[in-house]
């Protein structure tokens, strides 16, 4: 048995995974938002609670988190849960738990989960994408996470939106929380989807309502999704041109929009530098559980 923890901005989810990737226990708690000390304490309490539920102590722990760990000093960086940045999260958790743990970016956990026993099982190369409040990415090659020399492999969302279209001001776009302009994340996150709709239509509604109204035949909402699909196709084409993965897996809230899997592969042909494209675009098999399952998979069977 091993424990997986998904440390999110609003909730922390923990599971105990048994043989055959069976989920034996699952617990969710609210994240103490903006409170680093409280967040560390909540993770430790959750680990102990899961161990109590299965009647076994000192289980192996894997943790998925936003942002990444600096290979220079072991401190957190690049997290949109900004209270984590500059903090020794792994050292603090290991000191309180009294054991070593494994941890990586939440998008890496999605990639590892779906490559291990999910929608990309058996594929030699996988690029996994989170399309949610933020946008992330992870890479698995031959069943192993690709971390990269600087620990940032898969961080596609803080590159600029490729092949920008001047008629909708994509070259400048909006300022990202990272400080740069027109990052992919500002266009492809759930927030970015809603902001684009408001910018074009002067109508402020949520991404969920945009999708629902588009499905009901609303032309303006359908046009917003068409712009989103165009941007997603260009952004993924850039990844395919560099990595050329067998499978691209989509996770996060926006990944539930079924028309993405029909339209995006039809659009990305224009931007991919090949006469044949066999890369598959698929939704995450394990849905919202992919992140926490991937954290447990940091300790393979």
Q: pLDDT tens across 55-102, in order?
A: 999 999 999 999 999 999 999 998 888 899 999 999 999 999 999 999
Regarding whether 256 and 139 lie in a shared domain, the answer is yes
- Provide the pLDDT confidence category of residue 45 given band limits of 50, 70 and 90: very high
What pLDDT shows up at residue 24?
96
Regarding whether 275 and 293 lie in a shared domain, the answer is no
Regarding whether 137 and 261 lie in a shared domain, the answer is yes
pTM above 0.75, yes or no: yes
| % of the chain surpassing 90 pLDDT | 88
Regarding whether 97 and 140 lie in a shared domain, the answer is no
What pLDDT shows up at residue 258?
94
- Report the chain's mean pLDDT, rounded to a whole number: 94
What pLDDT shows up at residue 169?
84
Instruction: Provide the domain limits for residue 146.
Output: 122-284
In a domain, 102, yes or no: yes
Regarding whether 260 and 199 lie in a shared domain, the answer is yes
Calpha distance 116→169 (Å, rounded) = 40
CA distance between the termini of the chain: 9
Taking 90 as the threshold, does the pLDDT of residue 288 lie above it?
Answer: no
Calpha distance 96→94 (Å, rounded) = 6
Tally of domains in the chain: 2
pLDDT (average), residues 36-57 = 96
| % of the chain surpassing 70 pLDDT | 100
pLDDT (average), residues 285-290 = 90
Sign of CA dihedral 92, 131, 159, 238: positive
| Bigger pLDDT: 82 vs 284 | 284
Calpha distance 235→160 (Å, rounded) = 9
- Provide the pLDDT confidence category of residue 202 given band limits of 50, 70 and 90: very high
In a domain, 117, yes or no: no
In a domain, 75, yes or no: yes
């Amino acid at each position: 048995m091993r424990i997986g923890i998904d440390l999110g901005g609003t909730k922390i989810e923990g599971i105990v995974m048994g043989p055959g990737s069976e989920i034996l226990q699952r617990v969710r708690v609210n994240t103490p938002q903006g409170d680093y000390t409280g967040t560390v304490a909540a993770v430790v309490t959750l680990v102990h609670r899961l161990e109590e539920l299965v009647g076994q102590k000192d289980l192996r722990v894997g943790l998925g988190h936003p942002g990444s760990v600096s290979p220079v000093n072991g401190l957190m960086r690049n997290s949109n849960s900004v209270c984590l940045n500059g903090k020794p999260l792994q050292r603090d958790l290991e000191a309180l738990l009294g054991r070593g743990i494994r941890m990586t970016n939440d998008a890496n956990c999605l990639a590892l989960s779906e490559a291990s026993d999910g929608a990309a099982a058996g594929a030699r190369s996988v690029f996994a994408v989170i399309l949610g409040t933020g946008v992330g990415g992870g890479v698995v090659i031959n069943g192993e996470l690709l971390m990269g020399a600087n620990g940032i492999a898969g961080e596609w969302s803080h590159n600029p939106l490729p092949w920008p279209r001047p008629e909708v001001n994509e070259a400048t776009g909006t300022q990202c929380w990272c400080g740069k302009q027109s990052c992919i994340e500002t266009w492809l996150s759930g927030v970015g989807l809603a902001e684009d709709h408001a910018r074009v239509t002067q109508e402020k509604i949520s991404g969920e309502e945009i999708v629902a109204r588009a499905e009901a035949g609303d032309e303006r909402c359908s046009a917003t999704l068409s712009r989103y699909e165009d941007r997603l196709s260009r952004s993924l084409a850039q990844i395919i041109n560099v990595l050329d993965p067998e499978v691209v897996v989509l996770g996060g809230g926006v990944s539930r929009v079924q028309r993405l899997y029909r339209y995006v592969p039809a659009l990305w042909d224009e931007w991919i530098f090949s006469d044949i494209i066999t890369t598959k675009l698929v939704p995450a098999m394990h849905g919202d559980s992919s992140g926490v399952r991937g954290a447990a998979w940091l300790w393979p069977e």
